[in-house]
Amino acid sequence: MRGMRIILLLVSVLLCFSLNSASAKRYMISIHTTSPLHMHRQHLSKMKVSFLKVGQGDATLIIMPNGQTMLIDGGPYEAGEVIIQKLIEKGINHLDVIVSTHPDMDHIGGVIPIVEQMPVSLILDSGKTYSSLTYHTYRNNIKKRGIPFVSVKEGQYIPLDPHVSIQVLNNGKSKDENNESSIVLKVRYGKADFLLMGDADVRTEHEILKQFDVHADVLKVGHHGSYTSTSETFIKKVEPQFAILSYGSSNPYGHPHQSVVKRLKRHGIMVYRTNKSTVEMETDGEHIMLESSGLMPLLK
């Protein structure tokens, strides 16, 4: 695996930017043949964020600086085995928290085989129920294994690492539609901010803007880049340097919508996608480094 990682680094574009201020972020783009870890302050632990390739769905793995693990969504059912293999490759045999943003099958389907095959300490859920077979199986499997199941509250913090702030900006309380009920998370380590939107739509974006500071360096774009999310107003408030689109190739929904991609690029945001490969990031709280071959080409 180490040899494979070095080979991948030969063709990966590594980006590092200073987070000293929103207006003074310097980028370094280069090709490296050695491990990029030398770019970070060696005495600081790193937070690692992986936007996983799971086909048409969502799954994000965060390894905290203290080693605690959080999986946000599990993609569709067939992605569960893929995620388990990825966890094993990373030396992970236990998940501290799984966050299920909402009950759509392309987000919770993969959680079903994961809880069957791997110890999980806690499931955090949006609180939105659903009548589908996938949701029924998901809840039954969690109950059968005695995994604590908690519905999150808007504004609450998830205490996984004392140096990392994880705040819930939206939940499923009193929401009629699944996407509207998506858990939205803002994750901050030092000066590095990640905003993870689940399938939240423009209505949810509007509500979040009323209550929270959404500025972030990395935006996991809502609803796989659908035209129902990522409004112009929202992008201006977030001001991300990077945007991640999670979707499967040749999907029947037309994700991502070209208007959204063009909107992101118009703001000078570097857009990465998971349909070809997992997008890996890590940060020491001062810099963010990205390793991926999934840079979305310029649109005509």
pLDDT tens sequence across 269-282: 999 999 989 999 99
Give mean pLDDT, residues 27-53: 56
> Could you tell me if residue 297 is inside a domain?
no
Flag whether pLDDT at 125 surpasses 80.
Answer: yes
Q: Which residues neighbour 117 within 8 Å (Cβ) at sequence distance 6 or greater?
A: 84
The reported pTM is 0.85
> Could you tell me if residue 182 is inside a domain?
yes
Q: Which two tokens stand for residue 5?
A: 């990682």
Q: How confident is the model at residue 88, as a pLDDT?
A: 97
CATH number (domain holding residue 177): 3.60.15.10
> Could you tell me if residue 69 is inside a domain?
yes
> Could you tell me if residue 299 is inside a domain?
no
Q: How confident is the model at residue 239, as a pLDDT?
A: 96
Q: How many domains are contained in the chain?
A: 1
Q: How confident is the model at residue 294, as a pLDDT?
A: 56
Flag whether pLDDT at 10 surpasses 50.
Answer: no
Q: How confident is the model at residue 293, as a pLDDT?
A: 59
Q: How confident is the model at residue 184, as a pLDDT?
A: 97
Domain that holds residue 261: 2-33+45-292
pLDDT, one tens digit per residue, over 108-117 is: 999 999 999 9
> Could you tell me if residue 277 is inside a domain?
yes
